[in-house]
Structure 1
């Protein structure tokens, strides 16, 4: 009968460094205790030697001991897993994926060389794994553990890709995903208005996924100046290339997604080249790295902002760390390495296999050295971040196991409402309880996993600065809580922040209100020129993408940031021009009445009689009306004065020209009547003269009435000629009606001028035709020159030109026709006799 022993045999074991303690239920752990690895020869000409791990990291060893502390604390707690002892097996991954996979394989297969049949059917070597801290390692390990549905609770792997439950069904973490880390970074960047940012990311899953996610979020409000990849295996040429990009970029804010080990070469090179003036944003993987936050690096990296996993105090941890007591002959070789590194000594038992004669004199370890006498990161529990996440991860597994153990038969979650056996628990059964875990730590922080196995998103915002003693510290200056009220996720204590450099980082400075952004061709949208809004358009916001037109009655101010009510312009009595024109009109009207009074008073004198006194009186009245009609053009247009100004203008001028025309005709007929046998005057007597003036005036009146009935003039706001002003004017309504009105006046004026011109040389002592000719010449010249001046004059000056033409033509008629007569009547009365007039005639 074959022995039931030797049924299961392990062909080979890995030589790994770790810590171990037997228990009823075993938990595994993977930590990056060593950060330097000596790779063996892999030519496969002989059996490869083991991977040697060197340069032990005291702070990470503290993380491993935190897991041990949490397990021993749970074992002492009678309320959690009573009568069940948790054990542990922890391994060092040496920051190498190959070693991490060896550690994971060892955890799920066991360590014994020979297993009994009962062992083959017993519980697995471990039911869950705490670790791995690196995202790239976790991705590879989770693909293996997921096949066995064995839970893996990471305390530092943040790649958002690990939230995919189809690919990583058994992965959980007590640290938030990079998706939330990126949101925290973006909130911080947006808070300070940085829109021009550079990205550096390691060439692994952690860096590339984080950089892609950050770029997507950043593009919503800002721009990426550059993206550089940082080699995982340090290559100086590549490092120098990244540094050169930083030196020549205009971006002053740089986000670095990297582990502390991968970031170290870049930090060193930047410090050596003394590249300052940059605001660094650190990912959680290196934001709290005390090995980087040193006095040497502070000149370039002082004031660095970092996203850090939540810090928590673990009571009793420091005392536990001080009680470590290594046994050099036990399998706890990781503790032995720590002790030898801490006190720079060697245990004799570890030298037994070597020839001591060939070794230089060494210091031997006794095992009783005082750990508290050494000031190292191992005993510093003031920044318990990763340690706190490990602590929460162990307790999450313990609470899950406790729920599994507390299951009542017939009320279980498994097939036929069965329960799992705590003495033979399977990883997939533990996963069921782990998914729904929800408890509160002693600090009052809730621990739970969402549907993707991610922890609740809450971060500390840290800042690299000096403390009161001058030492470099990584100080918490704020918190990002994704569960907070929208818009209040980020809280900062501004007074605690240290700024090493100016905090502005933009490709182009913001465009002030009154201008708009104009993108530069071929450059990101954050690079733009600021273009002043055109007249009549404004922008009221900073960085406005476009300008907006003001409403029709408004216009932009000189700064182009406000629409102001347009200035309403019209010729008023309050301004100098209006006063002068009004005074001139009144003066002309008074002068006309003055001449009328002189003529009425001297109506029996030969000069007045010889010039048809009745027509002269009517002409002076019409001239007075011509002067007065110009007053209707001054002042704010209204419906009434718009009607009056054109009616008075048209009628008074036709009346005036009609009188002059009749006077001209009378002069011609009077001359013809002196010829023998000509009695024309009897056909053009006083009645006919009055009738002619009346008919000419009635025709103009009919034109005016027709115009007013069809399309009367009305007040209007003209914005065509001056954009910044509203010209308040009288719209003529019908262009045809206004043309007929002017055309009729022009026709009468032309006829009058022609007749007067033909009669200018008639042999008369006092030939009035000469004066009429001269007056009509002035009248026609004024109104002909008025047309281009009227068209080209802007705003209120159009009305002023029209008034000037009315006054000039009226003064021209008044002075040309009546000035010579008044001269004789008032200054030369001796010539105002019939004898004098006849005498001149005889000559």
Structure 2
């Protein structure tokens, strides 16, 4: 009961029009557009008319009924000032700044829905410290003293701007157009908010403002003013267009789209997703009543978060203009909505139809009147309760402190207006719709926004479907929510989410490159460089696959690399292994033949024990090649190079010893030569042991400092990971090869100097050929080894081992093997001595 009494004491004012007592100046043309009223208008009018029955403390300033040619709400600064001053005057008498009674004290004012109306209103009412609850766009006030008296029933613009940005980024609409109303809010949006959008990756095809609409603008002039705007917007490739406006902006937007039809702009360019701000709402003109509503189908708009108010539909259905004698507004509304005049106001008008009284609001199409509560209506509804709760709190406070004297109601109304602000700021309650209502530190209502999807129907009705929410008070991951599956898109998109891009997306396998002299979101698509991929659309740069993967042909996916090594299962491995075994068998056969014929002159010539050691080392060299085939393991990697180095050093040392013995033997045959004391087995063994010891020392240092180990080479081959033996120390590896090369060079040099010695007695010429083959093989090995990759590197090393070993076997032992097996008659001392004497 207390709340009801408090609500009766509230003074509600919709300051969007002039007072009935003020006459329009005849020097200015009549306006030509009239807004169809919303449910919020009837809400205020209904509350006012009901309160008139209980109290004289309520005043409602309204516009007079416009003439038949009128079609725009007549808004003028001077008339708004006049209406505001009337609120402060004695009822029925307009005397500025004078009030002769104490019965009707102003408690608060509800203002809206346009920001300029609220601004003009604030200039007057703030002087008197009157609380003003704004249910529409709040004005930008640089005067802080005036701003403290404004209570914004619409949430913060800043939160709405964040919601717009999140919506664009969610659908990846980064190529958009922007149209804004040319007022302070619109200019701030263009100058301060859009740069923030750009920082987050949104760029703009165009940013422009609506042409100014004044009460002197006739419809043809409005069409002409929209002509350039229509060409700009409809010719844009942007599919998403942000419209930052106020409640009447939808009228101008419809005119712009109507112009596009008359200009025969191709329909494909008309496919736009309009993103509307919460301060906008569906309004229409009498001229636009017959226009279709397809323009708004699929649009997304923000709206103050609201819930269905129980009983509101019933309240609208019960509105009866005949019984609302105190409500002058409803007659004007009835005339505009139903095209007829109430009997009470048609006395002087004979050419207009008279309403029957059977007209029902629910029969009106949605383009004329909505039966549901809109965002503006909900703000008005909340504002009424805010004032009522604040008055109740003030009344309760007075009772608590026993401050009520006789005539308590009058005492309440005589409270200073500035005292009422403290109660308004502290208001906090749950509305009948279940929402918590309170103001934040900026005196703005602390609620979020609903995201609305507009769906139109052929019968000129439409549906506002909630498809998302922007709630600043929610947890971080739920501040912005959207139900994409519930969105109905404009017809031309065939229910496929539209793309709003400067150009087609770069597919995976391509990267973006900015176009010169174009916005940053306009780019060319270039294929990824070799070795790199991009697995997402619109990537700024390509990237390399992990080391164990490689790009596919389309360069949009990484594939697992195969592990590669020279195995026994593949043809190359089988061929090399077969060759090694074949040469091993041949070497073993030669060794067997030599052992069997060890007492023959050709075997005994030039130290047969060195021949045995050389043959054994060659046999081991051939078998050593098998260590290089198969999966590299820790043990096999250690044995490969070390075994190869030591065995080959023994073989080359034997060749060197043979060469030196041959040369010294011929020198020792001279009578005066002292060298014969050196020729013998001890010299040969010393040469082999000393030369092999040096190589063994090098290999031992190698093992201690940096031994070989299994390793993956992930970079040499594109599609393979090479499992190989890492040499550990490359320097030590080339030291081993270098030492072998040194021994081979010395052997070749000594053999070359003794090449003219008799063939039947010595091996100098054969050793020269064998060392020539050996040196050529290993000189060719180094560049070939460095230029090959993968398992072929190992194959080169195996081939060099086999080739050099085969060269030694063939050049040194094949002639002797031929004589022993094929020409045994030559393998006698007489034949050798005879041929020697013939030579000498």
| 1:346-394 residue CA offsets vs partner (Å, 9 max, x unmatched) | 9898887xxxxxxxx9426667654449847777524555344334433
Q: Cα gap change, 1:622/1:217 in structure 2, threshold over 3 Å: closer, same or farther?
A: closer
Match of 1:279 among 243, 250, 273: 273
Q: Match for residue 70 of structure 1?
A: 47
Please give the secondary structure, in 1, of the residue aligned with 2:100: helix
Q: How many residues are paired up?
A: 788
Cα distance in structure 1, aligned partners of 2:351 and 2:32: 19
Answer yes or no: is 1:449 the counterpart of 2:443.
Answer: no
Question: What aligned pairs does 1:489-638 form with structure 2 within 5 A after superposition?
Answer: 489=479, 490-492=481-483, 494-495=485-486, 497-500=488-491, 501=493, 502-507=497-502, 520=515, 523-528=518-523, 554-558=548-552, 569-610=564-605, 612-637=607-632
Match of 1:89 among 60, 70, 74: 60
Question: What aligned pairs does 1:128-143 form with structure 2 within 5 A after superposition?
Answer: 128-143=108-123
Q: Match for residue 801 of structure 2?
A: 806
Q: Cα gap change, 1:655/1:84 in structure 2, threshold over 3 Å: closer, same or farther?
A: same
Q: Match for residue 232 of structure 2?
A: 245
Answer yes or no: is 1:59 the counterpart of 2:37.
Answer: yes
Q: Cα gap change, 1:497/1:290 in structure 2, threshold over 3 Å: closer, same or farther?
A: farther
Gaps of 5+ in 2: 1-7, 64-72, 214-220
Q: Cα gap change, 1:640/1:384 in structure 2, threshold over 3 Å: closer, same or farther?
A: closer
Question: Aligned-pair distance for 1:780?
Answer: 1.8
Q: Match for residue 465 of structure 2?
A: 476
| 1:390-433 residue CA offsets vs partner (Å, 9 max, x unmatched) | 3443343344334444443562799xxx9982353543344443
Match of 1:323 among 321, 324, 337: 321
Q: Match for residue 100 of structure 1?
A: 80
Larger displacement relative to structure 2 (186-195 or 51-60): 51-60
Match of 1:122 among 85, 92, 102: 102
Q: Match for residue 331 of structure 2?
A: 335
Contact 2:511 2:528 in 1 (8 A): yes
Cα distance in structure 1, aligned partners of 2:526 and 2:657: 67
Match of 1:823 among 818, 823, 833: 818
Q: Match for residue 69 of structure 2?
A: none
Cα distance in structure 2, aligned partners of 1:152 and 1:403: 18
Q: Match for residue 218 of structure 2?
A: none
Larger displacement relative to structure 2 (626-635 or 563-572): 563-572
Match of 2:14 among 29, 52, 55: 29
Please give the secondary structure, in 2, of the residue aligned with 1:89: coil
Cα distance in structure 1, aligned partners of 2:114 and 2:335: 25
| 1:801-837 residue CA offsets vs partner (Å, 9 max, x unmatched) | 2222221111011111221222222223333344544
Q: Match for residue 453 of structure 2?
A: 463
Q: Cα gap change, 1:403/1:56 in structure 2, threshold over 3 Å: closer, same or farther?
A: same
Please give the secondary structure, in 2, of the residue aligned with 1:198: strand
Q: Match for residue 267 of structure 1?
A: 257
Q: Match for residue 68 of structure 2?
A: none
Cα distance in structure 2, aligned partners of 1:284 and 1:142: 22
Question: Aligned-pair distance for 1:588?
Answer: 1.8
Q: Match for residue 386 of structure 1?
A: 376
Question: Aligned-pair distance for 1:593?
Answer: 1.4
Contact 2:296 2:456 in 1 (8 A): no
Answer yes or no: is 1:649 the counterpart of 2:644.
Answer: yes
Contact 2:297 2:455 in 1 (8 A): yes
Q: Give the TM-score normalised by the residue count of structure 1.
A: 0.80
Please give the secondary structure, in 2, of the residue aligned with 1:228: strand
Q: Match for residue 784 of structure 1?
A: 779
Cα distance in structure 1, aligned partners of 2:642 and 2:820: 35
Question: What aligned pairs does 1:305-324 form with structure 2 within 5 A after superposition?
Answer: 305-309=300-304, 310=306, 312-313=308-309, 314=312, 316-324=314-322
Question: What aligned pairs does 1:710-789 form with structure 2 within 5 A after superposition?
Answer: 712-713=707-708, 721=716, 725=721, 728-731=724-727, 733=729, 735=731, 737-738=732-733, 740-765=735-760, 768-789=763-784
Q: Cα gap change, 1:750/1:542 in structure 2, threshold over 3 Å: closer, same or farther?
A: same
Cα distance in structure 1, aligned partners of 2:301 and 2:752: 101
Cα distance in structure 1, aligned partners of 2:96 and 2:501: 69
Cα distance in structure 2, aligned partners of 1:117 and 1:288: 38
Cα distance in structure 2, aligned partners of 1:709 and 1:340: 103
Contact 1:326 1:367 in 2 (8 A): no
Answer yes or no: is 1:289 the counterpart of 2:283.
Answer: yes
Contact 1:143 1:168 in 2 (8 A): no
Aligned-pair RMSD on alpha carbons? Answer: 4.4
Question: Aligned-pair distance for 1:213?
Answer: 6.4
Question: Aligned-pair distance for 1:326?
Answer: 8.6
Q: Cα gap change, 1:692/1:295 in structure 2, threshold over 3 Å: closer, same or farther?
A: farther
Q: Match for residue 193 of structure 1?
A: 172
Q: Cα gap change, 1:463/1:162 in structure 2, threshold over 3 Å: closer, same or farther?
A: farther
Q: Match for residue 20 of structure 1?
A: none
Q: Match for residue 363 of structure 1?
A: 351
Cα distance in structure 2, aligned partners of 1:460 and 1:828: 109
Contact 1:779 1:809 in 2 (8 A): yes
Cα distance in structure 2, aligned partners of 1:668 and 1:367: 140
Larger displacement relative to structure 2 (528-537 or 389-398): 528-537
Q: Match for residue 181 of structure 2?
A: 202
Contact 2:533 2:558 in 1 (8 A): yes
Contact 1:110 1:125 in 2 (8 A): no
Larger displacement relative to structure 2 (101-110 or 373-382): 373-382
Q: Match for residue 157 of structure 2?
A: 178
Please give the secondary structure, in 2, of the residue aligned with 1:497: coil
Question: Aligned-pair distance for 1:757?
Answer: 2.6
Larger displacement relative to structure 2 (67-76 or 130-139): 67-76
Q: Match for residue 131 of structure 2?
A: 151
Question: Aligned-pair distance for 1:202?
Answer: 1.1
Question: Aligned-pair distance for 1:671?
Answer: 4.2
Q: Cα gap change, 1:164/1:621 in structure 2, threshold over 3 Å: closer, same or farther?
A: farther
Please give the secondary structure, in 1, of the residue aligned with 2:14: strand
Q: Cα gap change, 1:68/1:424 in structure 2, threshold over 3 Å: closer, same or farther?
A: farther
Q: Cα gap change, 1:666/1:454 in structure 2, threshold over 3 Å: closer, same or farther?
A: closer
Q: Cα gap change, 1:716/1:331 in structure 2, threshold over 3 Å: closer, same or farther?
A: closer
Cα distance in structure 1, aligned partners of 2:392 and 2:540: 60
Please give the secondary structure, in 2, of the residue aligned with 1:199: strand
| 1:567-610 residue CA offsets vs partner (Å, 9 max, x unmatched) | 65544444433333233223222211110111111223343334
Q: Match for residue 9 of structure 1?
A: none
Contact 2:549 2:560 in 1 (8 A): yes
Larger displacement relative to structure 2 (373-382 or 741-750): 373-382
| 1:474-500 residue CA offsets vs partner (Å, 9 max, x unmatched) | 332335352444443545483463442
Contact 1:325 1:367 in 2 (8 A): no
Question: Aligned-pair distance for 1:544?
Answer: 5.9
Higher share of residues assigned strand: 1
Q: Match for residue 222 of structure 1?
A: 201
Contact 2:17 2:74 in 1 (8 A): yes
Please give the secondary structure, in 2, of the residue aligned with 1:478: strand
Cα distance in structure 2, aligned partners of 1:569 and 1:174: 72
Q: Cα gap change, 1:451/1:411 in structure 2, threshold over 3 Å: closer, same or farther?
A: farther
Gaps of 5+ in 1: 1-22, 43-48, 77-82, 353-360
Cα distance in structure 1, aligned partners of 2:708 and 2:403: 93
Please give the secondary structure, in 2, of the residue aligned with 1:231: coil
Please give the secondary structure, in 2, of the residue aligned with 1:625: helix
| 1:125-177 residue CA offsets vs partner (Å, 9 max, x unmatched) | 74433223111221222132111111222322255x46996442222243334
Question: Aligned-pair distance for 1:765?
Answer: 4.0
